[in-house]
Structure 1
Amino acid sequence: MDVVKRAAGDLIGAYASGRPVDPPTDVYDDLTLDDAYAIQLAQIEEFRAKGARVKGHKVGLTSAAMRRQLGVDQPDYGHLLDSMFHLDAAPIDAGRFLQPRVEPEIAFVLGRPLAGPGVTAAEAAAAVEFALPALEIIDSRVRDWKITLLDTVADNASSGGVVLGTRPVPLDAVDLRLTGCLLYRDGELVDTGAAAAVLGSPLNALVWLANTLGERGVSLEAGHVVLPGAIVAATPVSAGDVVTAEFAGLGTVTANFRGAAC
Structure 2
Amino acid sequence: MTARTTTEGAGDAARIDDVAALLTAAAKTRTPCAPVREHLGATDIDAAYEVQHRLVAARTAAGARRVGAKIGLTARAVQQQFGVFQPDFGVLFADMVYAHTEPVPLGRFLQPRAEGEIAFVLGRDLDLPGTTVADVLRATDFVLPAIEIVDSRIAGWDLAITDTVADNASSGAVVLGTTPFRLDGRDLARVGMTLYHDGEPVSFGAGHACLGSPVVAVAWLAREMEQRGQPLRAGDLVMSGALGPMVPVGGPGRYRLELDGLGDVEALIEAGNEEEDA
TM-score by length of 1: 0.94
| Structure 2 counterpart of 1:36, from 35, 48, 53 | 48
Bigger drift between 26-35 and 51-60 goes to 26-35
Change (3 A) 1:69 1:85: closer
| Structure 1 counterpart of 2:119, from 95, 107, 110 | 107
For structure 2, the 5+ residue unaligned runs are 1-12
Instruction: For residue 194 of structure 2, give the secondary structure of its aligned residue in structure 1.
Output: strand
Q: Quote the offset at 1:116 in angstroms.
A: 3.3
Q: Quote the offset at 1:86 in angstroms.
A: 0.9
Change (3 A) 1:252 1:213: same
Aligned to 2:20: 8
Q: Does the 8 Å contact 2:42/2:161 carry over to 1?
A: no
Bigger drift between 163-172 and 187-196 goes to 187-196
Measured in 1, the distance between the counterparts of 2:235 and 2:262 equals 19
Query: 1:143-162, aligned counterparts within 5 Å?
Result: 143-162=155-174
Aligned to 2:200: 188
Measured in 2, the distance between the counterparts of 1:110 and 1:123 equals 11
Query: 1:40-119, aligned counterparts within 5 Å?
Result: 40-67=52-79, 74-119=86-131
Q: Quote the offset at 1:63 in angstroms.
A: 2.0
Instruction: For residue 162 of structure 1, give the secondary structure of its aligned residue in structure 2.
Output: strand
Q: Does the 8 Å contact 1:238/1:257 carry over to 2?
A: no
Q: Quote the offset at 1:119 in angstroms.
A: 1.0
Q: Quote the offset at 1:17 in angstroms.
A: 1.1
Which residue type is aligned with residue 62 of structure 2?
Answer: K
Measured in 1, the distance between the counterparts of 2:17 and 2:134 equals 39
Percent sequence identity over aligned pairs: 44
Q: Does the 8 Å contact 1:179/1:194 carry over to 2?
A: yes
Aligned to 2:142: 130
For structure 1, the 5+ residue unaligned runs are none
Aligned to 1:177: 189
| Structure 2 counterpart of 1:209, from 212, 221, 225 | 221
Which residue type is aligned with residue 19 of structure 2?
Answer: A
Give me the CA root mean square deviation.
1.8
Give a deviation string over 1:221-253, Cα, whole Å, max 9, x none: 111111111001111113321100001111111
Measured in 2, the distance between the counterparts of 1:73 and 1:23 equals 17
Give a deviation string over 1:188-243, Cα, whole Å, max 9, x none: 11122111100110000110011111111221111111111100111111332110
Q: Quote the offset at 1:5 in angstroms.
A: 1.0
| Structure 2 counterpart of 1:19, from 7, 20, 31 | 31
Instruction: For residue 172 of structure 2, give the secondary structure of its aligned residue in structure 1.
Output: strand
Bigger drift between 27-36 and 174-183 goes to 27-36
Q: Quote the offset at 1:27 in angstroms.
A: 4.1
TM-score by length of 2: 0.89
Aligned to 2:268: 256
Count how many residue pairs are aligned between Structure 1 and Structure 2. Answer: 262
Change (3 A) 1:148 1:56: same
